[in-house]
C-alpha cells in the first residue's frame, strides 16, 4: 500500500461549500500522520457575485499570517482557480480592482488574478463549469489545458479525470512532463459518475507509461476527509503505478517538484 504524506488539494470555510477552518484541517492532517498540507480554496465565480470588490478576497490575500510549520505540519498556501476560456485563462485574469480593502482608490487599477496568485505558493487549475468548452474541438480543449499548465503559478491540473472535457491526453501529458508539472488523481472524483473511476485509471496508466508525475489528493471539503485517499490508492495498485511518480508521496518530493517546475521554492 502506498504511503502518501501530503494532501495538497484541500478546502476551508472560505470556499463557501466547505465546512472546516484552516486550523481544523491542519489538526486533521497531523492526526492522519501527514507531513505537509496544501490549503487551496476556490478562486472562481462560485464565491462572490461582486468580483471587483477586493474585500471578498482578503482571506486569500492574508495567508502570510499562517505559520509555515503549524504544529509539526508544513503548510503551503494556494488556490484552486477555475479555467474560464479556451485560451486557458483562469478566473480573475480580466477583472480590475479599483479600491483597496480599506476603501482607498488605486491610482492605477490592479488585476485581481495577479493580486491573489501573488499570495499563493502554487495554483491548481481546474474546470468546474464546462460552458466555455461546449462545441469546442479536441485541439481547442487540449490547447486550453496546455496553456493553463504554462501559467508560471500553476503546478498541476486539478481532477482532470472528473472534469468531463475530452482532450488529447498524450499531448497534455507530454507538456506536463516537459514543464516538470504533475496532473492530479483526485479522491473526490469518485461517486459523482460511474465513468470517473475508469477515466482516472486511464489517466494514471498513461502517466506511468510516459513517466509523468501525479498528485494524489483528497480535495477535502471537511477536515474529516483530510488524508483519506484509499480509493485512489486501490486504483494505482491495480495498475502497479510507480511510487516514484507520486509527487506528493513525501513532503520532500512535493517541495522538490515545486522547485523543479519553477513554481515555488520554500525558503526554510
The single-letter DSSP state of residue 226 is: T
* Model pTM score: 0.97
Q: What pLDDT digit, counting tens, does each position of 134-189 carry?
A: 999 999 999 999 999 999 999 999 999 899 999 999 999 999 999 999 999 999 99
Q: What pLDDT digit, counting tens, does each position of 11-41 carry?
A: 999 999 999 999 999 999 999 999 999 999 9
Task: Provide the grid cell at 156.
Answer: 498541476
**CA-CA distance, 72 to 221, in Å (whole number)?**
22
Average predicted confidence (pLDDT) for the chain: 96
Domain ranges across the chain:
12-260
215-230 b/e with 16+ CB inside 10 Å = b? Answer: bbbbbbbbbebbbebe
Task: Provide the grid cell at 88.
Answer: 486557458
Q: What is the pLDDT of residue 192?
A: 65
What is the CATH code for 12-260? 3.20.20.140
Amino acid at each position: 500500500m502506498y504511503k502518501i504524506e501530503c494532501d495538497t488539494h484541500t478546502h476551508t470555510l472560505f470556499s463557501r461549500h466547505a465546512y472546516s477552518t484552516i486550523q481544523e484541517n491542519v489538526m486533521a492532517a497531523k492526526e492522519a500522520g501527514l507531513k505537509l498540507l496544501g490549503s487551496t480554496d476556490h478562486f472562481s465565480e462560485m464565491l462572490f457575485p461582486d468580483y471587483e470588490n477586493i474585500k471578498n478576497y482578503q482571506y486569500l490575500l492574508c495567508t502570510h499570517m499562517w505559520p509555515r510549520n503549524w504544529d509539526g505540519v508544513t503548510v503551503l498556501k494556494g488556490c484552486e482557480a477555475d479555467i474560464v476560456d479556451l485560451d486557458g485563462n483562469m478566473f480573475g485574469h480580466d477583472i480590475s480592482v479599483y479600491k483597496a480593502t480599506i476603501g482607498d482608490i488605486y491610482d492605477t487599477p490592479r488585476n485581481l488574478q495577479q493580486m491573489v496568485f501573488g499570495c499563493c505558493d502554487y495554483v491548481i487549475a481546474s474546470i468546474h463549469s464546462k460552458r466555455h468548452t461546449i462545441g469546442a474541438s479536441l485541439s481547442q480543449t487540449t490547447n486550453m489545458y496546455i496553456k493553463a499548465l504554462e501559467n508560471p503559478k500553476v503546478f498541476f491540473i486539478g481532477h482532470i479525470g472528473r472534469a468531463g472535457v475530452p482532450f488529447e491526453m498524450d499531448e497534455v501529458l507530454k507538456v506536463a512532463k516537459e514543464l516538470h508539472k504533475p496532473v492530479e488523481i483526485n479522491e473526490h472524483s469518485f461517486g459523482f459518475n460511474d465513468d470517473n473511476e475508469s477515466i482516472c485509471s486511464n489517466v494514471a496508466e498513461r502517466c506511468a507509461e510516459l513517466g509523468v508525475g501525479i498528485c494524489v489528493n483528497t480535495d477535502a471539503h471537511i477536515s474529516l476527509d483530510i488524508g483519506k485517499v484509499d480509493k485512489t490508492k486501490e486504483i494505482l495498485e491495480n495498475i502497479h503505478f510507480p511510487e516514484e511518480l507520486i509527487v506528493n508521496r513525501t513532503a520532500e518530493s512535493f517541495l522538490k517538484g515545486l522547485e523543479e517546475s519553477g513554481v515555488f521554492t520554500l525558503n526554510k
